[in-house]
Structure 1
């Protein structure tokens, strides 16, 4: 500072009273372009000839490194930017030109890099444990398909499939799944083998709360009699996890609440519930053994919210993109969202981990050149 901002007179710097402030800012050139010279080597013993390997994260014949590619991958599937916006960020903010063809090659690199981890997670999902499963629609070239999800505490797997049938559930979890299957009441989950099943109470509670304001008194009575049973069971589940209930007390509650629910279903006013209540009553009977698994196995939640939260990024991506234009593009959505959600569950940095996968898949293989 040369002059006083008030009177314009000369100013003197004081020996004390320095004020410090740190500011984070982008530098003018965010991305550096490196050129690698790779000597040609020859083995006199076997006549092999080849060039020195590229550094990790560099791919033979591709002009974009692994770290830049990882950021673009997160922008596309974590930030839900369309392809045109991904190119805009690379060109306008990073200052690097990128064609549509290069972007397509980049996404194909993601497919190749993610495949081994994706297969590992799929194998893990089919092992015994609590698995929340759900599905949502996803279009391929304007034709409706489905993305299925199965979640575990450590990872999740999304599976792109043409139908909403039980065959897709079997493909996702395997024909001999020995864990606990948590789902809604969609019929495709019925034939799936499992050691136990838990139906989602969140869906049922929404239906029951709608009945509390029905104009038919039988509907209101049905909801008013069943909601306290649900609330008692769920509060006991919470009390167990808060250390206020023992496992034995929690498990002993299951036959009690099951009997209370059966009593309500079997004693409708005037011999029969009205249509809306009867539909819910039939659903309770159809899955009579699947409503209170969370009391005998407290590691199970009474709802399927874990799978629904895992599908939320897919729904946002679907709304932004309108779906996929190719089979590999749709499968990449499944693999990338599986990867991002698994990294979140494991507390890992998704960009760093994606770089590691890209680096592992991008190593230059030995090339035999003509002698």
Structure 2
């Protein structure tokens, strides 16, 4: 039978002595431990648990403090949790700097962004991640200026995996790879709404290439053969060139404007992207370090959206930044678990940052 020990607080009283020298009249006092700074305070493990429940398990402030009181009978104020969060975030500044430096030197980085609400106004959360690291950066803007301020992509020279948003394309010192999960969804829309026959062919081709790449990885290969790559590239080019013929163009879904340039359909925009960005679209085929999709970044952002659904809007820029830094640290620790340290609980690491 596996059972938890009785949960209770341990209270330790620290005392020091003061001595008066009868010869030199100097008074000397013993030193308290470095972590003891207040007449009454919580220890690092207690504060680490509070921060972990709030930022790791995404419990709101009131539910976090209520849980502690229910489990151990000790009322804890939300102000204590706020203070612990601020202290933890301050201690993790250096860790975040080291992480950004490591991301800039990584061969492949996944990037994405999503909307958040801070004190009722919309802001944007940007992420940069690998299999070992997660970095979050909130900013009032979505585009190039925010990506510059995050300080990852401007100095990055590897391969950036992302959706096809043009703001990412402005970083020309690195290579790019597009998320083909996005492409599959757009192709399905083109099939369902525009009856685009070429979209069905492209979908089949993508899935065939992915199957071939997955099989090659499974048997220990590091690349497809030149003949296989040429074969798939020829098929890709043939589908695009055939679809670009004027007689096969999909008309826009809306009525043409009476003046000005006619708006292209979404299906035509997708086709133009495939025509212009063949290398970025098929990079997962030519470089096995690149995955088929950008699901890693989307999974990292998903938990931030869960946090907002549970707790509502963030209250201040400082609170948003603290949550992103701590949550990124916890996500990174979980990604870096090895078999040897699989039983290490995340909050045990968080407490060292308090």
TM-score w.r.t. structure 2 length? 0.85
The aligned residue for residue 158 of structure 2 is 179
Structure 1 contact 175–193 (Cα < 8 Å) conserved:
no
SS at match of 1:289: helix
Question: What is the CA–CA distance in structure 2 between the aligned matches of 1:23 and 1:152, rounded to whole Å?
Answer: 36
CA distance in 2, matches of 1:50, 1:174: 53
Q: Is contact 1:135-1:147 (8 Å) kept? A: yes
Tell me the equivalent position of 1:357.
353
Pairwise CA distance, 1:147: 1.1
Pick from 194, 204, 215: which aligns with 1:239? 215
**Paired position in structure 1 for 2:297:** 307
Distance in 2 (alpha carbons) for counterparts of 1:171 and 1:152? 19
Distance (Å, rounded) in 1 between the aligned partners of 2:146 and 2:29: 46
- Alignment partners' CA distance in 1, 2:218 and 2:295: 20
Q: CA RMSD in A?
A: 2.7
User: Equivalents in 2 of 1:181, 1:41: separation in Å?
Assistant: 64
SS of the residue corresponding to residue 258 of structure 1 reads helix
How many residues are paired up? 330
2:176 pairs with 1:200: no
Quick check: which has more Rg, 1 or 2?
1
Q: CA deviation at 1:162?
A: 1.1
Aligned partners of 2:18 and 2:28 also within 8 Å: yes
CA distance in 1, matches of 2:222, 2:45: 50
**Matched residues in 2 for 1:125 and 1:62: separation?**
41
Q: Alpha carbons of 1:233 and 1:170: their partners in 2 closer, same or farther (altered >3 Å)?
A: farther
1:317 aligns with 2:307: yes
CA distance in 2, matches of 1:246, 1:160: 37
2:285 equivalent in structure 1 = 295
How does 1:193-232 map onto structure 2 within 5 Å? 193-214=172-193, 216-217=194-195, 219=196, 221-232=197-208
Contact between 1:176 and 1:193, CA under 8 Å: does it hold in 2? no
Hey, what does 2:92 align to over in structure 1? 114
Q: Is the CA contact 1:293–1:300 (under 8 Å) kept in the aligned structure 2?
A: yes
Cα distance between partner residues in 2 of 1:112 and 1:49? 33
1:107-161 CA deviation, whole Å, 9 max, x = no partner? 1112122222122111111113110001111111111111111112221111111
Tell me if 1:272 matches 2:249: yes
Unaligned 5+ segments in structure 1 are 1-21, 359-371
